[in-house]
Amino acid sequence: MKTNIYVIYGGKSVEHDVSLQSAFSIINSLDKAKYNVYPVYITREGVWCSTKIVKETITELKELKHCNFNSISGSLGDFLSKHFKKGEKSIAFPALHGSNGEDGTIQGLFEMLNLPYVGNEVLSSAVGIDKVMMKDLLSLGNIPQAKYTSLLLHQWQENEEKALEEIENIIGYPSFVKPARLGSSVGINRCKNRNELISAIKEAFLYDHKLIIEKEIIGREMQIAVIGNNCPKASVVGEYIQERKFMDYNAKYVDGRLVPVIPAPLSDNISEAMRQTAIKAFKLLNCKGLVRVDYFVTAQDAYYINEVNTMPGFTKYSMFPALWEKTDGTSYSELIQILIGLGFARHEQKNSILHMRWEA
């Protein structure tokens, strides 16, 4: 009997469109002779739209956006009632980025359904998407990172002048203002003075009520892909050659001008140190399945973790699959199968835990 794979994508997130691109590649890469592939589209309003089994190659993104429901609860109820039948082997593949998908919420639903799923669990997903919490935990492991501070919306509304003075005293300029719980470089701005800082804060608060403000580090932006459960492995280091000050949304997903360099030109000692640090971060955040660790590397070969991404993109521009292909020859399709296997293995291990008091 074939394994059912539910590729879940879209969602109530500013990264909705990026998710569609990831799902497009994942669905087309899955072996239809081995798997029953079910696309599950979540609209921007949160409505679940389950379509029929995909047996052929999808040629256009619009094929992934069919929906016949208006109600969130009704659509979710219909999806659950039609699938996950007894005796069938099933797994969810959340190709969701950002809010309501990469933040532990949908992972909590899978846990309640006792459904195997690809990627990180509730805790690591929630911590990984919150850049402030993530950096607080990484600091406990003495992992190098940029100086940072945070700002909550109510603090800004109560006293803008005080908030600005604290940021300027702690971080200074140039600085970067980011929504704390978003990815794909949405809502991020570089600030050289107070006027730019005010404007950046106001824009970032459109996307989140919690911000992180970081001191600028001048360096190359590099990435490492980590896969595994109990014994994670790190890829070689890769970097993008870019024209802009930082990789914003358009640079990543629209312009297509980023040129990947894999492996990145680094000394063996620095490369290995970064790989070991990536694994250390993976373990500190209790990650499972996969993580992409993003770095800054200065001209003096000092390296700093910028952030971790617990569900990195799988678009045609994505670094994660390219890193593994250059590391050990793992193809895109093989990588997907490895991640599916890791999801099943974690599920089996978790199901070995007792949920009632043991008596001799």
pLDDT number for residue 98:
85
Residue 102 a catalytic site member = no
Give the phi and the psi of residue 54 in degrees, each rounded to 5.
-90, 120
- Better-predicted residue by pLDDT, 130 or 87: 130
Residue 153 shares a structural domain with residue 252 = no
pLDDT tens-digit readout, 318-360: 899 999 999 999 999 999 999 999 999 999 999 888 777 776 6
**Crossing angle, helix 268-284 and helix 131-140, to 10 degrees?**
110
What range defines the domain where residue 32 resides? 3-117
Residue 358 lies in a domain: no
Residue with tokens 């980023």: 258
- The mean per-residue pLDDT over the stretch 285-311 comes to 96
pLDDT tens-digit readout, 14-47: 889 999 999 999 999 999 999 999 999 999 999 9
Please indicate if the annotation marks 219 as binding a ligand. Answer: yes
Cis peptide preceding 265, ω within 30 of 0: no
- The mean per-residue pLDDT over the stretch 190-198 comes to 97
What radius of gyration, in Å, describes the C-alpha atoms of the chain? 21
pLDDT tens-digit readout, 97-146: 988 889 999 999 999 999 999 999 999 999 999 999 999 999 999 999 99
Does 78 score more than 70 pLDDT?
Answer: yes
Distances (CA, A) of 97 to 8, 17, 123, 183, 327: 11, 9, 16, 7, 25
Distances (CA, A) of 67 to 24, 35, 49, 110, 217: 17, 23, 5, 22, 45
pLDDT number for residue 257:
61
Residue 355 lies in a domain: no
CB 246 within 8 A of CB 261: no
Please indicate if the annotation marks 344 as binding a ligand. Answer: no
Residue 326 shares a structural domain with residue 276 = yes
Please indicate if the annotation marks 28 as binding a ligand. Answer: no
Please indicate if the annotation marks 229 as binding a ligand. Answer: no
Q: Is 27 exposed, middle or buried (0-12, 13-18, 19+ CB in 10 A)?
A: buried
pLDDT number for residue 68:
81
Catalytic one of 15, 102, 121, 239: 15
Residue 113 shares a structural domain with residue 209 = no
Burial per residue of 186-220, b for 16 or more beta-carbon CB atoms within 10 angstroms, e otherwise: bbbbbbeeeebbbebbeebbebbebbbbbebbebb
pLDDT number for residue 92:
97
- The mean per-residue pLDDT over the stretch 6-11 comes to 95
Does 247 score more than 90 pLDDT?
Answer: no
CB 13 within 8 A of CB 96: yes
Catalytic one of 19, 25, 175, 318: 318
Distances (CA, A) of 11 to 15, 16, 85, 102, 317: 8, 6, 25, 10, 21
Residue 336 shares a structural domain with residue 224 = yes
Which among 145, 144, 137, 146 is positioned nearest to 285, based on CA atoms? 137
All residues at 6 or more sequence positions from 86 whose CB lies less than 8 Å from its CB, including other chains: none
Which value, to the nearest 10 degrees, does the dihedral of the CA atoms of residues 112, 113, 116, 118 take?
A: -70
pLDDT number for residue 245:
57
| Count of structural domains, the chain | 3
Residue 130 lies in a domain: no
Residue 269 shares a structural domain with residue 191 = no
Does 184 score more than 60 pLDDT?
Answer: no
Residue 285 shares a structural domain with residue 178 = no
% of the chain residues with pLDDT over 90: 76
pLDDT number for residue 153:
97
Please indicate if the annotation marks 63 as binding a ligand. Answer: no
pLDDT number for residue 277:
98
Please indicate if the annotation marks 224 as binding a ligand. Answer: no
Say how far apart CA 9 and CA 43 lie, in whole Å.
9
Residue 208 shares a structural domain with residue 226 = no
Average pLDDT, the chain: 91
pTM attached to this predicted model? 0.90
Token pair of 162, please? 């005080």
Residue 59 shares a structural domain with residue 180 = no
Q: Strand ranges (DSSP E) for the chain?
A: 3-10, 35-42, 48-50, 90-94, 148-152, 175-179, 189-191, 210-215, 220-228, 233-234, 238-241, 259-261, 289-297, 303-309
pLDDT number for residue 82:
87
pLDDT number for residue 306:
94
Residue 227 shares a structural domain with residue 195 = no
Residue 318 a catalytic site member = yes
pLDDT number for residue 51:
75
Residue 354 lies in a domain: no
pLDDT number for residue 13:
86
pLDDT number for residue 215:
97
pLDDT number for residue 43:
94
CB 61 within 8 A of CB 21: yes
pLDDT number for residue 179:
93
Does 213 score more than 70 pLDDT?
Answer: yes
Please indicate if the annotation marks 177 as binding a ligand. Answer: yes
Residue 310 shares a structural domain with residue 341 = yes
Catalytic one of 19, 125, 184, 235: 184
Say how far apart CA 310 and CA 129 lie, in whole Å.
7
Residue 211 shares a structural domain with residue 227 = no
- The mean per-residue pLDDT over the stretch 225-250 comes to 82
Please indicate if the annotation marks 2 as binding a ligand. Answer: no
